[in-house]
């Protein structure tokens, strides 16, 4: 849910960022993934009483994220990926984040690849939808790494603002646009 975190940061302080490029943002849960409302209400109540309880079964999502078996194998060694059951309070906060983004979607300039809904609801004309046939959720699936990097760089404004930081190292691609009012250098 990195896309959701980035969008929530942007919505909280929209003047601090000149832009945001999202790749495969998971910011909305489809109805077939969400539990029924009665179960959601029970989870919300339980999360206040037992916030750290790990009551959700652990499911390996990597086959849904990576088509390339070699990239899938490498993902098991990713030290920053959480690899345990989701805690109740975390699950509730993820649902709340998605709901909050959905309500404020008209304020966001986005490049969605997971949910066309986000793209359709964004009011800005400065947006791009790039879907890779057979693409998976992870950034470097659906085309060659080089083609995806080239497409991502093509989304950036030219000339680049002075406060733009681009970190490009296979397989990591991070772009941070910071407003000149931001104190980061």
Give me the DSSP letters along 75-133: HTT-TTS--SPPPHHHHHHHHHHHHHHHHTGGG-----SS-HHHHHH---SS------T
Average pLDDT over every residue of 134-159: 66
Contacts of 51 (CB under 8 A, 6+ apart): 87, 88, 89
- Distance in angstroms (rounded) separating the CA atoms of residues 16 and 63: 36
pTM of the predicted structure, to 2 decimals: 0.49
Q: Provide the pLDDT confidence category of residue 50 given band limits of 50, 70 and 90.
A: very high
Average pLDDT over every residue of 9-34: 70
pLDDT at 15: 77
Q: Provide the pLDDT confidence category of residue 185 given band limits of 50, 70 and 90.
A: very low
As a whole number, the mean pLDDT across the chain is 69
Other beta carbons within 10 Å of 122:
19
Q: Provide the pLDDT confidence category of residue 135 given band limits of 50, 70 and 90.
A: low
pLDDT in tens, 79-95: 777 778 888 898 888 77
Q: Structural domains in the chain?
A: 2-177 (3.40.50.1820)
Report percent pLDDT > 70 for the chain: 55
- Distance in angstroms (rounded) separating the CA atoms of residues 28 and 26: 6
Residue 138 pLDDT > 50: yes
Q: Tell me how many degrees the CA angle 175-180-185 measures, rounded to the nearest 5.
A: 65
């Amino acid at each position: 849910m990195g896309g959701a975190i980035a969008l929530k940061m942007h919505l909280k302080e929209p003047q601090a960022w000149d832009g945001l490029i999202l790749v495969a943002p998971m910011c909305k849960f489809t109805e077939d993934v969400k539990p029924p409302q009665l179960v959601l209400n029970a989870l919300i109540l339980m999360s206040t009483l037992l916030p750290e309880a790990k009551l959700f079964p652990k499911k390996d999502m990597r086959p849904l994220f990576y088509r390339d078996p070699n990239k899938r194998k490498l993902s098991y060694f990713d030290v920053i990926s959480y690899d345990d059951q989701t805690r109740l309070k975390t699950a509730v906060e993820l649902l709340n984040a998605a709901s909050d983004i959905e309500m404020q979607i008209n304020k966001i300039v986005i490049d969605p690849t997971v949910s066309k809904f986000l793209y359709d609801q964004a009011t800005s004309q400065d947006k791009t939808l790039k879907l890779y046939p057979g693409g998976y959720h992870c950034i470097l699936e659906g085309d060659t790494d080089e083609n995806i990097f080239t497409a991502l760089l093509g989304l950036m404004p030219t000339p680049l603002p002075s406060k733009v930081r681009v970190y490009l190292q296979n397989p990591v691609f991070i772009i941070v646009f910071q407003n000149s009012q931001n104190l980061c250098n």
